[in-house]
Structure formats: structure tokens, C-alpha cells
Structure 1
Amino acid sequence: MRRVMVMDVFTHPIAQKYLNRSGVSHAISVAEYAVQLAIKHDVNPDLAAKAGLLHDIGHYEWYTNGKWDYEQYVKNDIHAIKGAERAHKLLIRLGEDRQYAKEIALAILLHTDSYLPENSIKKSSLQQIIRLADEMDEEPFGKHHYRKINREDAMKKIAKLDQEVERLIREYRKTV
């Protein structure tokens, strides 16, 4: 039995604040891709869904003279560090298993290497999945962060994602 559903995470005011900043549509798409990849790579789909949903909650809005400054973002971004911290705190607050919260936070921390001096860290399967799911949904110049989705459609997608994760977990339990 999952302690915390994806819907619990999605509807929490803290998640809403930062998901709206980084792009709800993008977050949901990455969560969906992450679950698909988790199935293929024998990774817990619940952790993949949550890490995919929360992977960009550390974004800072880089503006110069009231306009989005993509160059400043690329040059100064450390959103994965802040996002890992926010996600961990949120998940613990919601009652998530502490080890799962840590695994999700680490996947968020390592979903990009833009702030690392070199790409030399060996990543777990979950960490690799979140990076790949994010890349699958990217658009040039960060435009994926600005795609819109209305609240009703977002809630439907999250509910469907939770149902899929539940189904996958039930199927997995039957095999062990």
C-alpha cells in the first residue's frame, strides 16, 4: 500500500506553487514518461512518477528587465539542488516512506548535470530514468516550461497516473 499518492503530492500547496512556476504540463509529461520507462527498466513506478512530477520544483525565475533570460538561466541554474531539498521536505511532510523520499530527492538532484563540473557520477536506474524522461519532453530554449494545461485536465492526468501506478504495483505483487 502506498503511503502517499501522486495526487497528494500534486495538490499540496507547496507543490502547486513550484509546479506552476516550472510548468505543470511539463511536470505531468515527465511523470508519465518516467512511469513508462520504469516499467521497461524494472524500477518502482511510484517513485518514478513522483520524481518525474517534482523534478523541476527548484526552478528559479531568471528575468532581466521583466523578460525571461534564458542565458542567465543556463549560466546560473542550480534548480536540481533546490528541487531535491524541496521535494524531500514535501514528501516527508506528506508521510512518504523516508527511504523512498530520499531516493526521489536524489533522482531530482541528478536529473541534470548542468551544475556539475563533469558528468562522472554513476547514477541509479531511477536517476537515469528521470533524466531521460525530462529529455524526452524538452523543447528548445526551455519552451516546455511554458506549455499550458488547465487544472481539470491536469487533475484527470494525475488521477489516471495514480491508477496506472496502482495497477502496476498490484501486478508486480502477484509475481513475487
Structure 2
Amino acid sequence: MKNVTLAEIFLHPITQKYLQRSGIAHAVKVTEHAFHLAFKYNVDLDLATKAALLHDIGHYEWYRNGKWDYELYRENDIHAIKGAERAHKLLIRLGEEPQRAKQISVAILLHTDSYLPEAQIKRSPLQKVVKLADEMDEEKGGNHHYNVMDIETAFQRLQRLDKLIETYHPLPAYKENLR
């Protein structure tokens, strides 16, 4: 199995299609946050950044009368479920090791509570890192999905992260619990 990079994932047509929908700037910023949080909490950098990059690829566009409707989205959204499925299929297609693809997909599934019935979920450190990274970039009314970053800038920032991951990876996974 080859090591699939963030840059390879980003350039794939499936990723491009869905990141255009959920926001490239948000995806890249969450990926950067996840790198720093994973480094801080000694979570696998590669897993955390891949899950962060793909965490919103399950978004569906909720429109009412031709206009984005955030409340309709909040009421009906299950993007984490769809995103976990899309991410798993994409990662396997790109050659990611199946168990790592599964860990990434489960982290995507649990990155938000928006679709879950009220219950306490015990997240792994990887899953916590992805959830926290997403929350660090959130803006009221879902506005974080509308921040703009051009594809070239996003690609360069992800290549930079790939180099950092290559330098520091592998870290012992899940050594320290998040509080």
C-alpha cells in the first residue's frame, strides 16, 4: 500500500466536486487545525489531517426558494454519514490501507453531533481531534462554508502539510487522551 497524500486526495475529482460544495477554505483550515491538535495530543498526524480534509464531503446543498437555508440544513442534514461513506470509497480507490481508511471514515462520521440523537458518545482521540478542529473554524449560520480560497493556494498549503507529516510521521497513535 502506498501512502496517499493530502495533495493527491485534494486533486481527485470527487474531492474537488464536494469540497466546492462545502468550502475549500474551511476544509484546508480544519486540516491545518487538525495537524496542530494531533501533534499536540500525539494522535496520528496522517489520519487526523485526512479525516479533517474530508470531514464535510457529505454535504448536501439545502435550498429553499433558490436560497441557501441554514435552518433547513440543520433540521435535515446527515452529511457526516454520507461523508464517511464517500471518504471510505475514495480512500480505498486511491490505495489507502483499508483499516486506516476505516479509522478516517469513522472520525468523519463522528465529527459533529448535528444529526445524532441526544446521547453521550465516547470518541477516540482521533475523533476528538477532528471534531475540535472543525469547531475551531466554525462561524455563525454556517458562514465558514462560504469563505473563499483558490485551488492553487489550497493545494500549496496541503503540500506543506504533507511535507510536515512526512517529517514527523509516524507518531505513536493515541498515546495521550484528550481532556
Letter in structure 1 aligned against 2:116: L
Give the structure 2 partner of residue 150 of structure 1: 150
Letter in structure 1 aligned against 2:19: L
Give the structure 1 partner of residue 119 of structure 2: 119
Provide TM-score, normalisation by structure 2: 0.93
Aligned-partner Cα distance in 2 for 1:88–1:164? 24
Letter in structure 2 aligned against 1:32: E
Aligned-partner Cα distance in 2 for 1:112–1:169? 26
Residue deviations 1:14-40 (CA, integer Å, cap 9, x gap): 000001100000000001000100011
Aligned-partner Cα distance in 1 for 2:139–2:36? 20
What is the deviation of 1:2?
5.5
Q: Which moved more, 1:20-29 or 1:116-125?
A: 116-125
Q: Unpaired runs of 5+ in structure 2?
A: 173-179
What is the deviation of 1:168?
1.1
Letter in structure 2 aligned against 1:25: A
Aligned-partner Cα distance in 1 for 2:16–2:105? 17
Give the structure 2 partner of residue 132 of structure 1: 132
Residue deviations 1:93-137 (CA, integer Å, cap 9, x gap): 000011100000000000001111123121100101100000000
Give the structure 1 partner of residue 50 of structure 2: 50
RMSD after superposition:
1.3
Provide TM-score, normalisation by structure 1: 0.94
Give the structure 1 partner of residue 78 of structure 2: 78
Contact 2:2/2:95, CA 8 A, preserved across alignment: no
If asked which structure has higher relative contact order (CA below 8 Å, sep 6+), I would say 2
Q: Which moved more, 1:161-170 or 1:38-47?
A: 161-170
Give the structure 1 partner of residue 15 of structure 2: 15
Give the structure 1 partner of residue 104 of structure 2: 104
Give the structure 2 partner of residue 165 of structure 1: 165
Letter in structure 1 aligned against 2:123: K
**SS, match of residue 56 in structure 2:** coil
Q: Which moved more, 1:147-156 or 1:77-86?
A: 147-156
Aligned-partner Cα distance in 2 for 1:163–1:127? 23
Question: Kindly, what percent of the aligned residue pairs are identical?
Answer: 61
**SS, match of residue 4 in structure 1:** coil
Residue deviations 1:146-173 (CA, integer Å, cap 9, x gap): 0001121111111111111111116x49
In the alignment of these two chains, the number of paired residues is: 172
Contact 1:80/1:109, CA 8 A, preserved across alignment: yes
Q: 1:38 to 1:24 in 2, by over 3 A?
A: same
Could you list the runs of 4 or more consecutive aligned residues of structure 1 that deviate by over 6 angstroms after TM superposition? none
Aligned-partner Cα distance in 2 for 1:37–1:91? 22
Letter in structure 2 aligned against 1:24: I
Letter in structure 1 aligned against 2:81: I
